[in-house]
Structure formats: C-alpha cells, structure tokens
Amino acid sequence: MGSSARPVIEQALADNGVETRTAVSVAKISASGVSLSSGEHLAAATVVWCAGMRANSLTGQLPVTRDRLGRVEVDDYLRVVGVPAVFAAGDVALAEVDDEHVSVMSCQHGRPMGRYAGYNVISDLFGEPLLAFRIPWYVTVLDLGPAGAVYTEGWDREVVSRGAEAKATKQMINTRRIYPPLTRNRADLLAAAAPELQARP
C-alpha cells in the first residue's frame, strides 16, 4: 500500500488487536500452527492462507504468452495480442491503463474493462470504430474494519482520507458502485453499461 498508507494500516491493526510479523516468511504449516523463517512458532488450530492472485486457467487454452499471474496481453482495444478475434477483460487480461502502468486484478480495472470489451466486441462485429481502453487515475480504498478505511490516490498511493470518511467511500463502492442499478429501468441499465462511465469514487 505504500509508505503513506502504511502507518494508517499499522495503527488500525494495532487498535484492533492484530499482531503482525514483518520480514519473515512461512517456513512450515503443521497441525500445531505456523513456523516462520525467523524460527518463531505461532500456535494455531486454524491457518488462513492468502497466497496472491492468479488468472483463470482458461487463459492456458490460448496460444499466447502469459504473464507471471497467468494473464494474457491485450491491445488498446482489449483484443488478445496474437489472437485478434478474441477479446479479454478483467483478471485474465493484462492491459495498459495509461502510458506507464498496466491493469491490476481488481474491480477498479475489471469493471470498466468488461464494459469496453463488450462495446468493442459488438463494434467489431458491426464494423464500427473501437474504443481504446484507458483509465488515467488510480485509487485504492482499503477497509480497516472497526478502524474505518484508508483511501489513497495515485500509483504512489498518497493518503487522501481515512477513518469514517474513507469507510463511507468504501461502503458506497461495495454496495452501489459495483452493482447495476436496481431500478429495473432499461434506460438506467443501458446507461450504466456505457464504457466510458467510470469515474474516480
């Protein structure tokens, strides 16, 4: 999360009674707990392992190179490089979001990628111009439980809000922004599918 957000996160963890270990790795998991590379043993009846993300293995069916996360490279229009009749979006696609950065595996990039890919598939079928996918901004909003949340902007993740204010933004994202309108109104649904709708929260 970067140096700006780290103190906020560390304080939230401490306030919630969460102990952390840094600069160590898991050496062994056994019936009695977890052994760390430092030699420390953490007794535990249950171990929850979070080992990162991977693209769906379906990407392996395409005759293309994949990145270390299993994603396929796509061009500006979300066509798979080397297989232009196939479009990819979301966690399986490695897309440039601006001139210096590629997509991350999150709803922030996955949602608009899906809208652009859908738009471009239809445009391609009807011989219409395709839209280039670009998102010129980047934010991260991390929920910190009872401590609220932390909201950062930019790829260097500078903190712009924290606590209850950031929590309200996170709740809006999780309860309204990532879902289609619930009005059952066709015009509302089609408007929400507009590829260039995405704006900073």
Domains of the chain: 57-136 (3.50.50.60)
Residue type, 38: S
- Report the alpha-carbon distance of residue 134 to residue 78 in Å, rounded: 11
Position 144 pLDDT exceeds 70: yes
Please, what is the average pLDDT of the chain?
Answer: 94
pLDDT interval class at 176 (50, 70, 90): confident
- How many other C-beta atoms can be found within 10 angstroms of the C-beta atom of residue 13? 15
Q: How far is CA 47 from CA 20, 106, 134, in A?
A: 15, 25, 39
Q: Name residues whose C-beta falls within 8 Å of residue 72's C-beta, 6 or more positions apart in sequence.
A: 55, 59, 62, 64, 66, 80, 81, 88, 92, 93, 94
Is the CB of residue 169 less than 8 Å from the CB of residue 201?
Answer: yes
pLDDT tens, 13-55? 999 999 999 999 999 999 999 999 999 999 999 999 887 899 9
pLDDT band (50, 70, 90) for residue 195 = confident
3-class SS letters over 132-192: CCCCCCCEEEEECHHHCEEEEECCCCEEEEEHHHHHHHHHHHHHHHCCCCCCCCHHHHHHH
pLDDT tier for residue 191 given thresholds of 50, 70 and 90: confident
pLDDT in tens, 89-124: 999 999 999 999 999 999 899 999 999 999 999 999
